[in-house]
Amino acid sequence: MKGTLSKMPVKYADPVQYFLKLEEEPVLVNDWIGKTVKLSYTGNIYCINCGRKTSKSFNQGFCFPCFRDAPQNAECIIRPELCRAHLGEGRDPEWEEKHHNQPHVVYLAISSVPKVGVTRATNVPSRWIDQGAWKAVKLAETPNRYQAGMIETDLKQYFSDKTPWQRMLKNELADEVEVLETKNKMQELMEDKYNEFDSSDDEIYEMKYPVIEFPTKVKSHNLDKEPTLEGKLMGIKGQYWIFEGGIVINIRKYGGYEVELLVH
């Protein structure tokens, strides 16, 4: 099996289902868990946006021109409070209208710590799965990315907006956090002007991941330094493959990398 890596599509299920599309049809990676997987990087990288061959990958799979100019790499991707889509502005106003001037969700996600974040409404719950969250709930629902970003900025003074990835992969869970109680507290902490966006949806999403055994220590594999990774696949969480011995690889990080895969 040969092709270029990209972020794994996911399906909210028990456990979460992960897919990889290297060739025409996506394959269910869950079926590989417990088997020996050999991943070999060919040395070729192809931009995930324009498809051109590039000697270096930027921001998880872009060539430099696309990293510099494409709307997928605008500053508001990381800092949604800077979004201008609702004003008809941005690197590509048409793209911004389609992706950012759309309903967004501010959420509480819990892994090893509670965190606040923003995502497009259509990305619920896949965004939480990509982050390796254990539980999540909606805090606010807004008409655009900018407004969601302003609420997130307001709440970041009280709650983190980062997921400690090593603790997430070791399955250290903040199981002392009462989800709805924390949601109510966060809504109370919001500035009054954001109250109109409070979400009344109290559904708690709980994610269970396909993992045989979580590692006690994790070591990230670097394909640029070691182009071949082979071992028993113990599970998947977030966008990480977890191998026996605590070796992990972030599949999304290597977007555009051409690889050969052997499963046995």
Q: How many CB atoms lie within 10 A of CB 147?
A: 22
pLDDT digits (tens, 9 = 90+) for 165-179: 999 999 999 889 999
- Final residue of a structural domain among 184, 206, 228: 206
Residues 27 and 58 in one domain: yes
- What is the per-residue pLDDT for 173? 93
- Whether pLDDT at 71 is above 90: yes
Examine the domain organization and report whether 110 and 195 are in the same domain: yes
**Quick one: 97 and 146 in the same domain?**
yes
- Cβ neighbour number for residue 89 with a 10 Å cutoff: 10
Give the whole-angstrom CA distance, residue 157 versus residue 139.
Answer: 16
- Is the same domain home to 123 and 168? yes
Q: What is the pLDDT of residue 24?
A: 78
Q: Do 20 and 112 fall within a single domain?
A: no
Domain count, the chain: 2
Torsion of CA 237, 243, 247, 248, to 10 degrees: -30
Question: What DSSP designation does 103 have?
Answer: -
Q: Same domain for 146 and 259? A: no
What is the signed CA dihedral for 132, 228, 5, 19, rounded to 10 degrees? Answer: -50
Number of residues assigned to the chain? 264
pLDDT digits (tens, 9 = 90+) for 86-111: 999 999 999 999 999 999 999 999 99
Q: Which stretches within 100-138 are classed as H helix?
A: 126-130
| Domain hosting residue 12, numbered range | 2-68+211-263
Kindly tell me the burial class for residue 68, based on how many C-beta atoms sit within 10 Å of its own C-beta (0-12, 13-18, 19 or more): exposed
Same-domain pairing of 145 and 235: no
Q: Which residues, 6 or more positions from 126, have their beta carbon under 8 angstroms from its beta carbon?
A: 9, 10, 12
Residue 162 has pLDDT above 90, yes or no: no
Does the pLDDT at position 163 exceed 90?
no
If asked whether residues 113 and 155 sit together in one domain, one would say: yes
Q: Where are the beta strands (DSSP E) in 111-239?
A: 114-120, 135-142, 205-206, 219-220, 228-237
Q: Are residues 88 and 185 in the same domain?
A: yes
- In terms of DSSP H, where are the helices of 93-162? 93-99, 126-130, 145-155
61 & 88 share domain: no
Residue that the structure tokens 């970003």 belong to: 149
Residue-level pLDDT at 84: 96
One domain, residues 80 and 200: yes
Mean pLDDT computed over 111-120: 94
Domain termination residue (choose one: 161, 189, 206)? 206
Q: Coil, helix or strand for 173? A: coil
What is the rounded distance in angstroms from the CA atom of residue 104 to the CA atom of residue 149? 9
Residue 250 and residue 57: Cα distance in Å, rounded?
14
- Which amino acid belongs to residue 242? I
Dump pLDDT digits (tens) for 205-239: 999 999 999 999 999 999 999 999 999 999 999 99
End-to-end Cα distance, the chain = 12
Q: Verify that 57 and 140 share a domain, yes or no.
A: no
Question: Which pLDDT tens digit goes with each residue over 126-159?
Answer: 999 999 999 999 999 999 999 999 999 999 999 9
- Give the whole-angstrom CA distance, residue 181 versus residue 150: 22
Question: Structure pTM?
Answer: 0.94
pLDDT tens per residue, range 9-63: 999 999 999 999 987 789 999 999 999 999 999 999 999 999 999 999 999 999 9
